[in-house]
Amino acid sequence: MANINWFPGHMQKARREVAEKIKQVDIVFEVVDARVPESSRNPMLLEMLAQKPMISILNKADLADPNRTKQWIEQYQAAGREAIAIDAQHARRLQQLPQLAEKILADKLAKKRARGIRNPHVRAMCIGIPNVGKSTILNRLVQKNIAVTGNRPGVTKNQQWLKASGNLELLDTPGILWPKFDDQEIGMRLALTGAIAETAFTADEVALWGVAYFQQNYRNVLRKHYGLTDEDVALAPADLIKLLTKKFGYGEEFDRTAVRFNNDVRKGELGRYTLEVPTKAQGNQE
C-alpha cells in the first residue's frame, strides 16, 4: 500500500485553522458522507470541540443505502448525538437545521435574551473532510452561490458571516480536516466513494476490496448489474475481477476492470450503498 500519511503539513495547518474557527461559533455542523458515516469523520474534530455543541449531517443520503442510514441515525440518537440525514442537492430537509440548532442552543439563547439581546444570532460553521458536501450545504443554507475557497487550508483571508434563515449565521468558509486512516479499511472506504484520490491506493487494491464488500453485502446488485450468475458472484474477488475483465472484452487488462468497477460504484451505477454498518445492526444485514 502507498504512503498513507500524506500532507502531514497541511493537516497540521488545517487543524490549527479549524481550532481557531471553532472558538468563534456557537455550534458546529459536522458534515460526513452518509455512505461512510464513520470513516468520513475526523476524530481530531471531537478533541477540538471541547464543550461545543455539534450536529452531524449525514450528507449524500441520496447515494446511501436508506436502511443503513436509518440505522446510523438511530444509533447516533440513542447515543445522545444530534444527527440528520440529507441530500444537499435537494435540500428540503436542510431547512430543519436552523431550528434544530436553536433548539440545541435554547439555554444559551434564553440567557442572551434575558440580558436584553432581542434576536440573538446563532453562529455556526460546516466542518468536514474534503468532498463531503460542505460548500454545497453552505450555499444552500445561505441560498446563494458564494465563492467558496475550495479544499485548501490557508486561503481564509477576510472571513465573513453569511446570513441563513432564522437567526442563523454561517462562517463563509467551511473548515477542512483531512481524513485520518488509522486502519486501511477506512482508506479503502474513502477511496471507493471517491473521497480520497487513488494516489493513496491503486485502483486494483480498491476494486479488490470493493468487489469483496459488494459480494458480502450487495451480492444481488452485483449479479444484476454485470449479468453474473450465483456461482460467479461466489468466486474469490480476484477471480471475479478476472471474469469481469473477460466479460468486458479487456483481454488481460485487469486494471481497466478495476477502474471501471470503482467508477461504477462512485457514480452510483450499482445503486445505493453504505460501506459500513452501525455496531448494533451488524449481523443483521442482507
Query: Contact residues for ligand G4P (CB under 6 A)?
Result: 59-60, 62-63, 87-89, 128, 130-136, 151, 174
Q: Which is nearer to ligand G4P, 136 or 245 (CB)?
A: 136
Cell 453485502 found at? 217
- Exposure string of 157-170, with b = 16+ CB inside 10 Å and e = fewer, is eeeebbebeebbbb
Q: Which is nearer to ligand G4P, 86 or 188 (CB)?
A: 86
Q: Among residues 193, 220, 218, 222, which one has the least CA distance to residue 206?
A: 193
Sequence-separated (6 or more) residues with CB below 8 Å from residue 235: 243
Q: Whole-angstrom Cα distance, residue 84 to residue 88?
A: 12
CB of 139 vs ligand G4P, minimal distance in Å = 8
CB of 129 vs ligand G4P, minimal distance in Å = 7
Cell numbers standing for residue 167: 437567526
Sequence-separated (6 or more) residues with CB below 8 Å from residue 162: 138, 142, 146, 169, 170, 171, 172
Written as one string, the DSSP assignment of 20-76 is: HHHTT-SEEEEEEETTSTTTTS-HHHHHHHTT--EEEEEE-TTTS-HHHHHHHHHHH
Q: Which is nearer to ligand G4P, 89 or 184 (CB)?
A: 89
Q: Which is nearer to ligand G4P, 179 or 187 (CB)?
A: 179
Q: Among residues 72, 85, 83, which one has the least CA distance to residue 282?
A: 72
Q: Among residues 154, 117, 122, which one has the least CA distance to residue 52?
A: 122
CB of 89 vs ligand G4P, minimal distance in Å = 5
Locate all alpha helices (DSSP H) within the chain, ordered by sequence.
8-22, 43-49, 66-78, 96-104, 106-114, 134-142, 184-193, 203-217, 219-226, 230-233, 237-248, 254-266
Q: Whole-angstrom Cα distance, residue 75 to residue 72?
A: 5
Q: Which is nearer to ligand G4P, 37 or 130 (CB)?
A: 130
CB of 155 vs ligand G4P, minimal distance in Å = 13
CB of 140 vs ligand G4P, minimal distance in Å = 9
CB of 202 vs ligand G4P, minimal distance in Å = 22
Question: Nearest residue by C-beta to ligand G4P?
Answer: 133
Q: Which is nearer to ligand G4P, 153 or 174 (CB)?
A: 174
Q: Which is nearer to ligand G4P, 30 or 205 (CB)?
A: 30
CB of 31 vs ligand G4P, minimal distance in Å = 6
Amino acid at 83: A
Q: Which is nearer to ligand G4P, 94 or 258 (CB)?
A: 94
CB of 174 vs ligand G4P, minimal distance in Å = 6
